[in-house]
């Protein structure tokens, strides 16, 4: 999903600055004519490096897309404490850290957008993703607090909640649970991200927006 978002944003004319633990991020950045940094969203120094390098190369930051994988899985009472702490750093504190670093920049610019890629399980928790379900529900609260606080500065934050997307294998049992009877595509996620970043979504903030083929109920 992250790569699809980067490609679609680039296609729409955005200059992209990308970070991932994988070396592949450097190749993708080169392909898109952007900036690539190898690092972890759990390390604030890496996030500072990304922000500073982006400002150095492009002079501004208009949008931040926070996208990570799922934290550890397992039986609810068997998950080690350290996995909960790692999950906190991976899916919630990374957003808070980026907001601390970038919000002052966006205030000076007079505008900005944050999009956090969350999960449908944030509000209909799944036993298959216990750490993710719990902590991304917390991300929903953080997002709303931030959106309310900074809306008057023309800085928006929304969460995007994908269902079963074809970046992972989707089996027949999963497909039968989806009213549309198909998995979503990474391109559909990417196009939704581009819309939420754009001026066409200028009055949308503080929302958990599901992209799940009707899998979950409205909240």
Residue 169: per-residue pLDDT: 82
Phi, psi of 209 (to 5 degrees): -105, 115
Residue 89: per-residue pLDDT: 97
Residue 29: CB atoms within 10 Å: 20
User: How do residues 135-149 score in pLDDT, each as one tens digit?
Assistant: 999 999 999 999 999
**Does residue 219 register a pLDDT over 80?**
no
The structure's pTM equals: 0.95
Cβ 178 vs Cβ 213: under 8 Å: yes
The residues facing 74 across adjacent strands are none
User: How do residues 95-150 score in pLDDT, each as one tens digit?
Assistant: 999 999 999 999 999 999 999 999 999 988 989 899 999 999 999 999 999 999 99
Task: Taking the CA atoms of 32, 38, 44 and 49 in sequence, report the sign of the dihedral they define.
Answer: negative
Q: 172 pLDDT band (50/70/90 cuts)? A: confident
Residue 93: per-residue pLDDT: 98
Stretch 22-46: mean pLDDT: 97
Q: 192 pLDDT band (50/70/90 cuts)? A: very high
The span from the CA of 16 to the CA of 1, in Å, is 15
Q: 70 pLDDT band (50/70/90 cuts)? A: confident
Cβ 11 vs Cβ 198: under 8 Å: no
Q: 69 pLDDT band (50/70/90 cuts)? A: confident
Crossing angle of helices 2-11 and 186-197, in 10° steps, is 50
Q: 158 pLDDT band (50/70/90 cuts)? A: very high
């Amino acid at each position: 999903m992250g790569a699809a978002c980067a490609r679609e944003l680039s296609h729409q004319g955005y200059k992209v600055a990308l970070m991932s633990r994988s070396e592949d991020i450097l190749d993708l950045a080169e392909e898109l004519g952007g900036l690539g940094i190898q690092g972890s969203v759990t390390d604030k120094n890496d996030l500072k490096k990304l922000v500073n390098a982006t400002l150095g190369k492009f002079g501004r930051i208009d949008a931040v897309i926070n996208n990570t994988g799922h934290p550890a899985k397992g039986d609810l009472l068997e998950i080690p404490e350290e996995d909960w702490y790692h999950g906190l750093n991976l899916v919630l504190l990374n957003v808070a850290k980026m907001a601390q670093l970038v919000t002052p920049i966006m205030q000076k610019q007079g505008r900005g957008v944050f999009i956090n890629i969350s999960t449908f399980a944030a509000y209909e928790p799944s036993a298959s993703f216990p750490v993710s379900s719990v902590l991304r529900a917390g991300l929903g609260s953080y997002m709303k607090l931030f959106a309310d606080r900074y809306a008057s500065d023309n800085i928006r934050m929304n969460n995007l909640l994908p269902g079963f997307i074809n970046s992972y294998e989707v089996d027949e049992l999963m497909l039968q649970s989806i009213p549309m009877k198909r998995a979503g595509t990474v391109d559909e996620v990417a196009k939704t991200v581009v819309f939420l970043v754009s001026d066409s979504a200028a009055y949308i903030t503080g929302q958990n927006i599901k992209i799940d083929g009707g899998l979950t109920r409205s909240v």
